[in-house]
Amino acid sequence: MNLYQLIKLALRGIIDNKLRSFLTMLGIIIGVASVIALVSFASGATSQVTSQLEGMGSNILNVNIMGRGTQTTLTYEEALELKNPYISGIAPTVNSGMTVKFMNKTYDTSVIGTNTDYFIINNRELEAGKAITEIDLENRARVAVIGPDAAKELGMLNPVGETIKIGGNNFTVVGLLKSKGSSMMGSQDDMVIVPITTAQRLFQTGGVRSITAQAASPDDVEAAKAYLEADLKRLFKDDEDAYSVFDQTELLNTVKQSTSVLSMMLGGIAGISLLVGGIGIMNIMLVTVTERTREIGIRKAIGAKKRDILTQFLIESSVLSGVGGIIGVIVGFVLTKILSTVANIPTQTTLLTVGVSFGFALLVGIAFGVYPANRAANLNPIDALHYE
């Protein structure tokens, strides 16, 4: 008996028994749909987190100074001396929350004092104007680069060239940052950047507690970190609790790893429901075999071999799970769409997810169809013919 004929027959059987077929397929539908929705959600979250981390800049090392005894900070010069051959840029930063005033509007924001490398390391591009220069640093110039959110809050339409007041001092806005959105570290657009030398006066503190360094290449990250740690250890007289060096690649890998575990777990849970759906198929196929014992007898009497009956029932169970799988894929897509628009959760549906879940559904249908089909194929034609 050819395949096409058998599939047609199985489809007709599904249509003849709409409610029963639907209920049988429901397990598979829910299974496939939830695999797709959950994995799409997990991989959407993963790619959002990783793109945020990567957006922070690559090959980044963060140094935090906790201090030891009376020496709680580094000077700007000490911080710059931490530069080693594996580091392409180093940006000591000081920051403080301050009130910024423009015309008659005031706004509390984060004021960051740093150097020229900061812009390169953190991938900060400018929407308008220019960044802070070496000359600004030398002259302790009262210039500022403003973030788009801060500019907006202050009602500045064309910030470049305007004068703002920070802590009572006049600053000329020389640049406007390009928007970068918010990350796990908070908004990256709500800030004002000034030369670190100017900031030290403004904050009335000379100490640097935070340094961002960039390794020259991904291969240099480890060496750069080792040198940094060695230098810091010497500076703080072997007190390793006085500082910490943090590698962003490490963080990225940790996050990637934990989100992939998350997506596997979610997929696994949904996979179990697929398995349960398969048991539903087996159950109904066993009922079908019993109900159609007479049909099997007739088919055998007129020449059907074991293999013919086996194929017929296997195809029926795989058509059942296949149709369920297709409906499940559609439901999964709709569910994902709803999840991402209504709940505003980022999702990412890949062909692999769809393929694997559909394939698994089909496999479940075949696997759980084997036993009932085998039972049908082994029926004795006489017993089957006389079955009432």
3-state DSSP call for residue 303? coil
The verdict on 290 binding another protein (CB under 8 A) reads no
The verdict on 295 binding another protein (CB under 8 A) reads yes
d(CA 103, CA 119): 28
Question: Which class for 47: exposed (0-12), middle (13-18), buried (19 or more C-beta within 10 A)?
Answer: middle
Closest approach of another protein to the CB of residue 309, in Å: 10
The verdict on 126 binding another protein (CB under 8 A) reads no
Closest approach of another protein to the CB of residue 307, in Å: 8
The verdict on 16 binding another protein (CB under 8 A) reads yes
257-265: long-range pairs with CB below 8 Å, 24+: 259/42, 259/43, 259/45, 259/46, 259/49, 259/50, 260/46, 262/42, 262/45, 262/46, 263/38, 263/39, 263/42, 263/43, 263/46
Helix (H) or strand (E) holding 336: helix 306-342
d(CA 98, CA 105): 14
Selected range binding another protein among 26-34, 57-65, 206-214, 376-384, rule: CB under 8 A: 376-384
The verdict on 20 binding another protein (CB under 8 A) reads no
The verdict on 225 binding another protein (CB under 8 A) reads no
By CB under 8 A, name the one of 160, 304, 329, 361 that touches another protein.
304
The verdict on 130 binding another protein (CB under 8 A) reads no
The verdict on 18 binding another protein (CB under 8 A) reads no
Residue 32 · residue 365 · CB < 8 Å: no
The residue among 326, 353, 232 whose CA lies nearest residue 14 is: 326
The verdict on 276 binding another protein (CB under 8 A) reads no
The residue among 322, 318, 314 whose CA lies nearest residue 375 is: 314
The verdict on 11 binding another protein (CB under 8 A) reads no
The verdict on 374 binding another protein (CB under 8 A) reads no
Closest approach of another protein to the CB of residue 378, in Å: 9
By CB under 8 A, name the one of 305, 352, 355, 359 that touches another protein.
305
Closest approach of another protein to the CB of residue 290, in Å: 16
Helix (H) or strand (E) holding 89: strand 87-102
| Closer residue to another protein (CB): 130 or 307 | 307
The verdict on 301 binding another protein (CB under 8 A) reads yes
The verdict on 382 binding another protein (CB under 8 A) reads yes
Distances (CA, A) of 211 to 75, 375, 384: 11, 72, 83
Phi, psi of 365 (to 5 degrees): -60, -45
By CB under 8 A, name the one of 186, 219, 307, 359 that touches another protein.
307
The verdict on 7 binding another protein (CB under 8 A) reads no
Give the binding-site size for another protein (rule: CB under 8 A). 25
Applying CB under 8 A, the residues found at the interface with another protein are 1-2, 5, 9, 12-13, 16, 294-295, 297-308, 380-382, 385
